[in-house]
Amino acid sequence: MSVDMEYWESLHRVVVGAGAYITDRQGRALLVNPNYRPHWGFAGGSVDEGEHPAQACAREVEEELGLTLPVGELLVVHWAGIREDRPYPLIHFLFDCGVIDADTPVKLQAEELDDYGFFTEQEAAALLPPWAHDRLCAAAAARAAGAIRYLPPVSAG
């Protein structure tokens, strides 16, 4: 059977990302401050060729935080539209990577991250863009309910 490359090249393209929802015992979310963008976010990144999203999540957590954590249930799927710095839409998978003690030793990836911390949803609202804060709130709700949340398309993400 031959592959119809013209057909495949005509299909819509998306970028795939994966992130980790990690909390401390007080329920505060672990967020990171990347040195390459003006806002905080989740540990995570792009899914590399040959990976599936959960593998990318585990790899990114280890690279960015020096932590080997189990990647648990999928909490949030978020479709984000095209924006000026990304020519394709993004589909982002946010996984439950568990609860850790706030004093767990973290080794930040110096090439990409300047800081990290644990934040309540209210505190995180001042650090995250609205679409990322929506992911955070959806992740907390999904973990509590034991059900995946789908976030609808947004214009930036």
Out of 91-95, 144-148, 151-155, which region has the weakest mean confidence (pLDDT)?
Answer: 151-155
pLDDT tens sequence across 73-104: 999 999 988 878 788 899 999 999 999 999 99
Q: Reduced to 3 states, what is the DSSP secondary structure of residue 117? A: strand
Superfamily of domain 13-154, CATH level 4? Nucleoside Triphosphate Pyrophosphohydrolase (3.90.79.10)
Task: Answer yes or no: are the C-beta atoms of 14 and 91 closer than 8 Å.
Answer: yes
pLDDT tens sequence across 38-78: 999 999 999 999 999 999 999 999 999 999 999 999 999 99
pTM, full prediction = 0.93
Output the six-digit token pair for 154.
């947004």
